[in-house]
Amino acid sequence: MRLLNDNPVPNEREKHPLDFMTVLIHTVYAALSFGCAGSAFTVFLVPLPMIANHLRLDEPWPKITAIFGAVVALVFFGMPPEVVSLIFVLGLVVGEGVKARQGFWSLALRSVAVCLIVVFAALAWNAQLGGLNIPQYWNSLVERLISGYAEMDVLKDMVNPALLHDTLLYEGPFLFLAGILLCIWISVGFAAHLGWFPEKHPLHATQLRKLRLPLWVPSVFAVLFAARFVPETPLKFYVEGVFMAWSSIILVQGCVYLSALLVRKRLGSGLKLFIYAFSLTFGSYALVALGVFGNWFLDKANRNRSLEVAHESHS
């Protein structure tokens, strides 16, 4: 998947004239947000259709079509209300942030925080109904999931139930955070690729390529990487979970550096598309490494380019 757009885009997107067909089409878009959650290949595009609705419709129609889409997901897709609520909130928060021209990290932080509140409230509500506290309820959810895996003959010999239980129990919340962040990044990046944002928008492709994390962020990553080698205790799973969540932040920066490097190479759009898709699908570790060391590569490339320009001017 090509995440960043290199093509010129219009200054403003035209608003669709509001009629029944327009509302119906954008209701289908909103329903697609929920449908994307049904596949591992499209789950990271969950916010994308609602981004389109917020850019193309005037208020309050993005929210109205989102409600219609949620009803479709509940009635026709048979999705659990908790999942529908989470997708609904994520899509609206990301869409509102895009419309308000928030920068990427501000948008991501706000969206992740709101999703955490929604999930915590859902856990607390269900735990209360079952006469449990939140940790007990979370453990019961994990045990139900593990029992489902145990009934699948294909996975019986491939999965260690005890290890899977501890991994989900301790690392699950952090993996959730990482997943939400990657949903936002991939959806926003793909929208930039499609040319949905005006040139001066903070989420336009040229602006996304300027994203830089503070130097302390990769330093924390290095500390967490070293801390992963603690003995096998529950603390190790917590450290691993924090490391995975932090890695998702570094991966976003790696995608930014990759885009900047490919633009400098002036590769064809088809080749860049292949590199982006391959890197995200099979090269996540390489993207994380690039997120840590990419600034050094870019500085070195800048110095080499400056030397070449100076040499040409003297010759």
Output the CA–CA distances (angstroms, integers) from residue 286 to 105, 223, 308, in the order listed.
22, 19, 29
**In the block, which residue shows the tokens 């939140």?**
134
Distance in angstroms (rounded) separating the CA atoms of residues 224 and 196: 37
Concatenating the DSSP letter of every residue in 57-103 gives S-TTHHHHHHHHHHHHHHHTS---HHHHHHHHHHHHHHHHHHHTT--
Terminal CA-CA length for the chain: 43
Section 196-208 average pLDDT: 91
Task: Please answer whether residues 44 and 281 qualify as being in contact, where contact means their C-beta atoms are separated by less than 8 angstroms.
Answer: no
CA-based nearest residue to 88, from 119, 66, 121, 117: 66
- Which residues, including other chains, have CB under 8 Å from residue 102's CB and lie 6 or more apart? 110, 202
Residue 86 has pLDDT above 50, yes or no: yes
What is the domain extent for residue 265?
212-315
Output the CA–CA distances (angstroms, integers) from residue 244 to 42, 186, 232, 258, 288, in the order listed.
21, 17, 17, 20, 11
**In the block, which residue shows the tokens 């336009």?**
204
- Tell whether 286 is covered by a domain: yes
Q: Work out the angle at residue 206's Cα, subtended by the Cα atoms of residues 205 and 209, and round it to the nearest 5 degrees.
A: 85
- Tell whether 279 is covered by a domain: yes
pTM of this structure? 0.84
Distance in angstroms (rounded) separating the CA atoms of residues 113 and 50: 19
CA atoms within 13 A on the CB side of 32: 16
Per-residue confidence band for 2, with pLDDT thresholds at 50, 70 and 90: very low
- Tell whether 313 is covered by a domain: yes
- Tell whether 135 is covered by a domain: no
Section 37-48 average pLDDT: 82
- Tell whether 266 is covered by a domain: yes
Distance in angstroms (rounded) separating the CA atoms of residues 33 and 191: 14
- Tell whether 109 is covered by a domain: no
Query: Would you state the structure tokens that stand for residue 227, as one six-digit string?
Result: 């801390």
The residue that leads in pLDDT, 41 or 224, is 224
Taking only Cα atoms into account, the Rg of the chain, rounded to an integer number of angstroms, comes to: 22
Q: Which has the minimum average pLDDT: 179-183, 242-246, 250-254, 290-294?
A: 290-294
Per-residue confidence band for 268, with pLDDT thresholds at 50, 70 and 90: confident
Section 86-112 average pLDDT: 94
The top-scoring range by mean pLDDT among 10-19, 70-79, 109-118, 252-261 is: 109-118
Q: Which has the minimum average pLDDT: 40-49, 61-70, 218-227?
A: 40-49
The residue that leads in pLDDT, 150 or 203, is 203
Q: Is the peptide bond prior to 60 cis by the omega test (within 30 degrees of 0)?
A: yes
- Tell whether 42 is covered by a domain: no
- Tell whether 62 is covered by a domain: no
User: How many structural domains are present in the chain?
Assistant: 1
